[in-house]
Chains A and B, each alone.
Chain A
Amino acid sequence: MTQAELRLCSLLLQEHFGEIVEKVGNSLLRTGPRPLRLLVGDTGLLLDQVKKALCVLIQHNLVRYEVQPRGSVEYEAQSKRILRLLRYPRYIYTAKTLYGDPGELLVEELLLHGHLPMSCAVARVADRLTETMEDGKTMDYTEVSSTFVRLADTHFIQRCPIVPESPRNTKAPPPPAPALAIAEKDMYTVPRLSLIGKGKRRHSCDEEEEGEHKAKRQKQEGGSSETPPDDGIYWQVNLERFHQHFRDQALVSAVASRMDQTSSEVVRTMLRMSEVTTASGASHTQPLSSNEIFRSLPAGYNIGKQVLDQYLALLADDPLEFVGKSGDSGGGTYTVSILSSWAPPSHFPHPSLIPLLLHRFGSRCARIFRLLLRKKHLEQKQVEDFAMIPAKEAKDMLYRMLSENLVSLQEIPKTPDHAPSRTFYLYTVNVMAAARMLLHRCYKSVANLMERRQYEMRENKRLLEKSQRVEAILASMQATGAEAAQLHEVEEMITGPERQQLENLKRNVNKIDASENQVDETIFVLESFIESTMKRP
């Protein structure tokens, strides 16, 4: 783990779970898997505090435990998973686009709590949706349930590993920690529950309703103390599936920008058909016949079968190898090659990434970079000639990129004694090294952004608190029907310059937050690229 990753993990833990959890997570990340008592020693925290922190971390799948042969339990932090905290908004937003508000809230609840039983998740979401509805209306459980089932069917959520059945007649003492496990085939099976009910509002506006409401809750509370019907069956968000979705989206938009809307729709259809049959990490989708594809095209697309075949042929012929032809049965079978579209030998990930990343260095550097990618190895002189950049400038750019590890020098000796005067020095791009360097930079960027944001908030703490107090006073005054003049007087408690300061703060914090989201997108692209390149045989 690099320092940059460690620092970012620390900041994320601290922001979402507080300093105690951060200290524990940090210790595990830096010194590796440890048992409880060593952890207490390392962190300097109280035993109970460490226990609580571990419970939280395990609940959120950020730490795993393992029983050692000697009987002690060791805890290990999952650094990659901790970094995913940054991506939560994207997961939630995606769920919204695919499954609407119930989908969005279900994914949000599962992320906020780490894992939940279905009954609990459905109840919470129904309550939340009810809050947003008009007076008197409530959200029925069935709609939320059916969205839950759809999320499970498309593998966006999955079941957590379960506690093994303990044999009744065992004489041995129970193990220090359960060995949780789940079979692949059970991971998406929704238990047969009949969840009946409606969402409840937390507070009602008039007393009468409140009275009824309380009575109703009493009855329902009676039920909640019993074990729920799906006791022991927990669900969590399947992050990998979301990642697959993001990759698919990127692929489709790459096809759209390279060819046209219709071809991107064809690819999108193919990907949709293969959603659950493609193992994560697979290099291609399962072969799909052109007949099947034709039948699965979305309703709005009235292209003839022959036109579809032409499109498929075009896609298969494209040097970027998005789609490959795998056979002739059923009118021709095709696959979408996922891996090679992410790690094509001659292309840096996601063609639009180059200008983005090299914006820092300038468009001429970008030109040199692309040139080196295409030509693999070039001498100094050749770079100047091909890129049509004057020598001095070219040299300067190459050295700068060299010092940042974006390009490297390759020695090709002409003679066995490697004499410098008789050796070729060629510039080349080591794609993996460059990608890793950029990724490292991204981690650093996000950490810097977070620290700056926290600094801004701290600097303005007094003013923020004052502003919140004034808001509260205003709200209560409005509720009790104060006059405009009185309200105005209270508003005046915040002076003009203070208002300006608050606005600036808000603008800056928004900008920083938006930037963090943006950098996470780049992190995703780079991580996917590195992962898929490493998988390539």
Chain B
Amino acid sequence: MIRLGNPQLRIFRPNWFLTLVRPGKEQPPDTVQFRIPMEMTKCDVKNYLEKIYNVPVGAVRTRIQFGSNKKRNHLNQKVKQPDYKVAYVQLAQGQTFTFPDIFPEKERMPTEGSMEEMQEKFMEDEKQRQKLDPRRGGVTEWFGL
């Protein structure tokens, strides 16, 4: 671990892996949020991103998220969720980053002749039958002579 006072430590193949996460709360556009192993420090994160991934890093702020110890299992024992460290990295040189949409909405077209297609067609016909006569212009059935 890099600390003030420790001898200069060079790690050539670090056994640390960073996880890019989508921020829970809205962050400014130049801020990227990572989950990092507990042993890493701010300097470690900066050097890691700059040397391995060539990402220009401006500032790094870290915090440790406490994993809750409140839940209990079927034996009434407390179950601990693991703690993890979160790093907020601000990019240098005016770069921005937005977390991409990993699960975009897709137009689901059911395949021909399958059950889904018949079911969808049936539902559409039912809905069409429920609707009122368009010639009445939105007025209900019971209103009239």
**Are chains A and B native binding partners rather than an unrelated pairing?**
no
Residues of chain B touching chain A, judged by Cβ–Cβ distance below 8 Å, are none
